[in-house]
């Protein structure tokens, strides 16, 4: 059985050397593994949240598509498409929006960060916050669930959005009585290369310290390498390779044997100027063949368009049947199908109910949430090293008397079993604690009756 892996790339910038080593190269390599059904898409709807410059978005779509193809992405093996070429994605986004609790969106990191910044400035908390930013996690969920991806490689800052996608999928499946959606698993690449930029900080456009991958050609690459910050050790003095940004960059594009030679040269006193020249020549040797393909693709955008359209056709063959099922599930049926009496097709006979949702957090620990019937988060557990322990505590919360395990704690509340706090009110909740505690009691009572 194949594992479907989905990767999105936001089209707001030009790929640099750090993007290639940290994300592009490992993703392309992973797509060639047996048993992997890889989906790669240009997240151009997401770009509109971050960028209001249409020329920049349009140029970035071209540059990013050309980059992925130039570095070896096999568009015939994978499914490579633009998000905006799949009309089923925004349609699914709306269906998911209609079952997503606002309280969940209130806790999204990006939205909370914007609110915190506004509060610190003394302006309205929602100043400058668009609905695109606020509901970004729902669109991300639609990207993933549209193709029922099994694994989604993301950085740690995106883990919360993957957990939200799982919660939204579970909510939809529960409401409409069938497992329409696979619950995606987050894939954190622990060994992803993080390259230093010109100033030694992480290479990032936000720091303006990047080294170009293809743009500007060999001349721009050499100019950037020559600007890398080094220490004051003179030629002839031994250099500390491990603390050298030059060595870190060299090693990311070299074999162990090549890295060992460069390291010895540094330790033997190679001057920084010569070391930079050696790094440039080493990078140029590896990037030049790919850059030649990139330049050719940029000069022939029609070839890229044909590839993306073929990818969109391939993706829509997956999206259309699922979207037709979902439209029927929510009641948007063709009238020729005849009137439907009673509950909608696929609906469970039992009423909507509360539920537990288990997940792994960004440290690898196991946790669970108690959600109300409307999707509001009522309890968030502590972190457990053993998933069996987390499962046992969920069952005990479901079976034991709510009055015995629930306690008011300051402005919030906790769930205590055997004298140990196992769960508490989620961070940032608002409203009367006693009223919310009543909701928790009701939710646990309804679970105990199942």
- Alpha carbons within 13 A on the beta-carbon side of 284: 16
The answer on whether 391 is annotated among ligand-binding residues is no
Q: Tell me which H or E stretch contains 161.
A: helix 159-176
The answer on whether 155 is annotated among ligand-binding residues is yes
The answer on whether 323 is annotated among ligand-binding residues is no
The answer on whether 37 is annotated among ligand-binding residues is no
The answer on whether 177 is annotated among ligand-binding residues is no
The answer on whether 143 is annotated among ligand-binding residues is yes
Residues 224, 211 contacting (CB under 8 angstroms): yes
User: Cα(64)–Cα(15) distance, rounded to whole angstroms?
Assistant: 7
The answer on whether 216 is annotated among ligand-binding residues is no
The answer on whether 202 is annotated among ligand-binding residues is yes
Q: Is 419 exposed, middle or buried (0-12, 13-18, 19+ CB in 10 A)?
A: exposed
Q: Is 401 exposed, middle or buried (0-12, 13-18, 19+ CB in 10 A)?
A: exposed
Residues 162, 186 contacting (CB under 8 angstroms): yes
Residue 308 has a CB neighbour count (10 Å cut-off) of 20
The answer on whether 205 is annotated among ligand-binding residues is yes
The answer on whether 195 is annotated among ligand-binding residues is yes
Best CA proximity match to 241, nearest among 260, 221, 222: 260
Q: Which two tokens stand for residue 283?
A: 């990078």
The answer on whether 85 is annotated among ligand-binding residues is no
Best CA proximity match to 15, nearest among 197, 201, 212, 207: 212
User: Cα(400)–Cα(259) distance, rounded to whole angstroms?
Assistant: 60
What angle separates helix 88-97 from helix 301-330, to the nearest 10 degrees?
40
Tokens 């009423």 sit on residue: 351
Residue 336 has a CB neighbour count (10 Å cut-off) of 5
User: Cα(371)–Cα(447) distance, rounded to whole angstroms?
Assistant: 11
Q: How far is CA 21 from CA 13, 45, 72, 248, 338, in A?
A: 16, 25, 14, 12, 56
Q: Is 115 exposed, middle or buried (0-12, 13-18, 19+ CB in 10 A)?
A: middle
Contacts of 150 (CB under 8 A, 6+ apart): 3, 4, 5, 182, 184, 185
The answer on whether 10 is annotated among ligand-binding residues is yes
Residues 9, 82 contacting (CB under 8 angstroms): no
The answer on whether 19 is annotated among ligand-binding residues is yes
Residues tagged in the binding site annotation for ATP: 10-12, 18-19, 155-157, 195, 202-206
Annotation: binding site: 10-12, 18-19, 143, 155-157, 195, 202-206
Binding residues for L-tryptophan: 143
């Amino acid at each position: 059985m194949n594992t479907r892996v989905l990767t999105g790339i936001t089209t707001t910038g030009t790929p640099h050397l750090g993007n290639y080593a940290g994300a592009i190269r490992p993703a392309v390599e992973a797509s060639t593994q047996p048993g992997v059904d890889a989906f790669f898409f240009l997240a151009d709807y997401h770009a509109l949240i971050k960028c209001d410059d249409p020329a920049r978005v349009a140029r970035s779509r071209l540059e990013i598509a050309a980059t992925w193809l130039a570095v070896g992405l096999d568009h015939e093996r994978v499914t490579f498409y633009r998000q905006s070429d799949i009309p089923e994605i925004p349609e699914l986004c709306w269906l998911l929006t209609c079952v997503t609790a606002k309280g969940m969106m209130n806790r999204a990191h990006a939205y909370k960060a914007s609110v915190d910044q506004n509060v610190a400035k003394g302006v309205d908390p929602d100043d400058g916050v668009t609905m695109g930013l606020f509901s970004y996690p729902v669109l991300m969920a639609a990207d993933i669930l549209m193709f029922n991806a099994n694994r989604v490689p993301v950085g740690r800052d995106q883990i919360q959005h993957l957990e939200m996608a799982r919660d939204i999928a579970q909510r939809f499946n529960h409401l409409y009585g069938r497992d329409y959606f696979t619950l995606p698993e987050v894939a954190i690449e622990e060994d992803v290369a993080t390259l230093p930029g010109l100033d030694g900080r992480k290479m990032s456009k936000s720091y303006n310290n990047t080294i170009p991958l293809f743009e500007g050609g060999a001349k721009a690459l050499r100019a950037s390498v020559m600007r890398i910050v080094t220490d004051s050790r003179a030629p002839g003095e031994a250099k500390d390779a491990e603390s050298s940004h030059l060595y870190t960059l060299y090693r990311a594009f070299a074999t162990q044997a090549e890295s060992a030679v460069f390291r010895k040269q540094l330790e033997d006193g190679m001057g920084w100027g010569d070391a930079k020249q050696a790094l440039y020549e080493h990078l140029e040797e590896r990037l030049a063949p790919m850059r030649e393909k990139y330049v050719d693709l940029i000069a022939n955008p029609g070839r890229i368009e044909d590839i993306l359209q073929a990818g969109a056709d391939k993706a829509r063959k997956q999206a259309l049947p699922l979207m037709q099922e979902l439209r029927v599930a929510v009641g948007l049926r063709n009238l020729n199908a005849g009137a439907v009496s009673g509950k909608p097709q696929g609906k469970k006979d039992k009423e909507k109910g509360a539920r537990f949702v288990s997940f792994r957090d960004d440290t690898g620990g196991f946790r669970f949430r108690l959600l109300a019937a409307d999707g509001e988060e009522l309890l968030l557990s502590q972190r457990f090293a053993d998933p069996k322990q987390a499962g046992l505590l969920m069952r005990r919360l479901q079976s034991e008397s709510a009055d015995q395990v629930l306690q008011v704690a300051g402005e919030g509340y906790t769930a205590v079993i055997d004298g140990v706090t196992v769960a508490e009110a989620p961070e940032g909740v608002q409203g009367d604690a006693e009223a919310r505690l009543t909701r928790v009691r009701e939710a646990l009572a309804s679970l105990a009756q199942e």
